[in-house]
Structure 1
């Protein structure tokens, strides 16, 4: 099958399409306790594990980027740290289930040898296990690569989304490859993943944040597309597209949520005010879906929207 050429649209064009089709939404801010005065943001979607509903969240002081990832459970509309559960010195958690096993990832920051407060690099770390309390580290991404995501494909193989930067990826592209099992997940797998062509214009960037196996065997990708403005502020938008894992044919990207969908609130820094970070999506089965996001690197929200993956099935 030949790959169809897709016109690459920039953030401005994607936003014009997004705003041209108003949709009905329902927004809820997540309330957290048990973490002191720290912010909780960049959450995963809720998932059922060990008989309870759980989310993972990035927990951090407002003036720091040294964070922890907590497992949270909910009672009376308030999310609190799961009792007697290990926390991880990571940023931006993600999760998936592969062959019944819980896979958790996050970004570890690397500091300068002579200055522990200076972040010089970062590495995505992965843990696996059949219970939350018995997760074991099993793989590390290459230096400076965030937004690595895994998904069990139809037939049992594992799809791997990567985000190369620099010489291969500029400010950040999306790569994809398939491995037979988690035992093949290593640095070479991440480095040699094929970059998806014409995904972002050269001055913009993005990444995959969660992958969904669709009814037709294709993969729905929840991610972000981002750009700088003329004064250096960042703008992050939630987006989706789908990909045929066998051919790497993909649909055009579309924005599904922006910062303006949510109430005004605090931000980590002025340059991060117009930032939302896709955390996860729950498809409700009735044409609707609930998107979990981090907002302005300071808060966590959920927003009910039309199911963005329906058209791909």
Structure 2
């Protein structure tokens, strides 16, 4: 397994590599009901809460960025709002479990008081609790920092992936640091996390979406890499890499899906027609995995692919 990044590859180069071994599979759209005609996208993978599978999803009108995060359960092939579950004024939810405790978060967005369509800033916020209905706030990230994710390592350590502010004209990077307990997750810790160099070109960007503790002690990272072409047309791809928390060595980024292996569907805007935002990954014992992803900022899909983390465990 290659364990060092010598030179960042562009989205275009990674996509060309992916096309050579593109899986002969097709994704499917998830159907959500009970949201008053609003879109549900940028979902988490299903997670267990009170004995049933639950999905957290971003819910909003097609013409707005004012979002709610709601929790859904599956009934007769459709996902509907979970009765009596809390609703958060957030975007892009994520979940993980740290020492048996549910950690939930999302992006808190601030709007101009005179223009509800104009975003002035944003930050990642965190909640914790034994179950969804007992979540309490406990931490927040620095202004403008998205894609902060935690990873339970063991040995009294918690890995923390960050997305620092741009430096030297870079769009975004991924940082990594560690804490000993959730109470140590502070803005200062997040702002000073060392950066993993050479993952993105300066004109491109990306971040972590979900972490997996692998069998050999590595941390598998599900994330996204993105670029923009003329006319502000965005391209987002699900990607993975792995990091060893002891050596801080990490593997090159690889793409695991592209928009054309999912069903056609609407987009929030014309510039978002090639956008997949990784939500979560369920690994299966047969060597496959189910990827859950937001699509075009308007829908949520899933697809069964080869488990992208298996090669990191070799």
d(CA) in 1 for partners of 2:234 and 2:23?
A: 25
Check the 8 A contact 2:65/2:117 in 1, yes or no: no
Check the 8 A contact 1:163/1:169 in 2, yes or no: no
Instruction: Name the SS of the counterpart of 2:23 in structure 1.
Output: coil
Instruction: Name the SS of the counterpart of 2:63 in structure 1.
Output: coil
Q: What corresponds to 1:126 in structure 2? A: 126
d(CA) in 1 for partners of 2:36 and 2:29?
A: 18
1:30 aligned onto 2:30: yes
Unpaired runs of 5+ in structure 1? Answer: none
- How far is the alpha carbon of 1:96 from its aligned partner? 0.1
Q: What corresponds to 1:137 in structure 2? A: 137
Deviates more, 1:189-198 or 1:152-161: 152-161
Deviates more, 1:150-159 or 1:125-134: 150-159
Q: What corresponds to 1:160 in structure 2? A: 160
- How far is the alpha carbon of 1:24 from its aligned partner? 3.4
Instruction: Name the SS of the counterpart of 2:311 in structure 1.
Output: helix
Check the 8 A contact 2:45/2:55 in 1, yes or no: yes
What is the TM-score with the length of structure 2 in the denominator? 0.96
1:201 aligned onto 2:196: no
Change (3 A) 1:4 1:307: closer
- How far is the alpha carbon of 1:66 from its aligned partner? 0.4
The superposition leaves residues 41-63 of structure 1 with CA deviations (integer Å, 9 ceiling, x where unpaired) of: 00000111110000100000000
Unpaired runs of 5+ in structure 2? Answer: none
Check the 8 A contact 2:4/2:251 in 1, yes or no: no
d(CA) in 2 for partners of 1:252 and 1:20?
A: 17
Check the 8 A contact 1:289/1:307 in 2, yes or no: yes
d(CA) in 2 for partners of 1:75 and 1:243?
A: 38
Check the 8 A contact 2:64/2:117 in 1, yes or no: no
d(CA) in 1 for partners of 2:257 and 2:95?
A: 21
Check the 8 A contact 2:108/2:124 in 1, yes or no: yes
What is the TM-score with the length of structure 1 in the denominator? 0.96
1:103 aligned onto 2:103: yes
Instruction: Name the SS of the counterpart of 2:154 in structure 1.
Output: coil
Instruction: Name the SS of the counterpart of 1:194 in structure 2.
Output: coil
Check the 8 A contact 2:42/2:92 in 1, yes or no: yes
- How far is the alpha carbon of 1:26 from its aligned partner? 4.2
Instruction: Name the SS of the counterpart of 1:31 in structure 2.
Output: coil
The superposition leaves residues 97-134 of structure 1 with CA deviations (integer Å, 9 ceiling, x where unpaired) of: 00111000000101234545431000111000001111
Change (3 A) 1:5 1:283: closer
Instruction: Name the SS of the counterpart of 2:40 in structure 1.
Output: strand
Instruction: Name the SS of the counterpart of 1:32 in structure 2.
Output: coil
Q: What corresponds to 1:229 in structure 2? A: 229
Change (3 A) 1:169 1:243: farther
Q: What do you get for the CA RMSD once the two structures are aligned?
A: 1.3
Aligned residues: 311
1:1-313 matches, within 5 Å, as: 4-167=4-167, 170-313=170-313
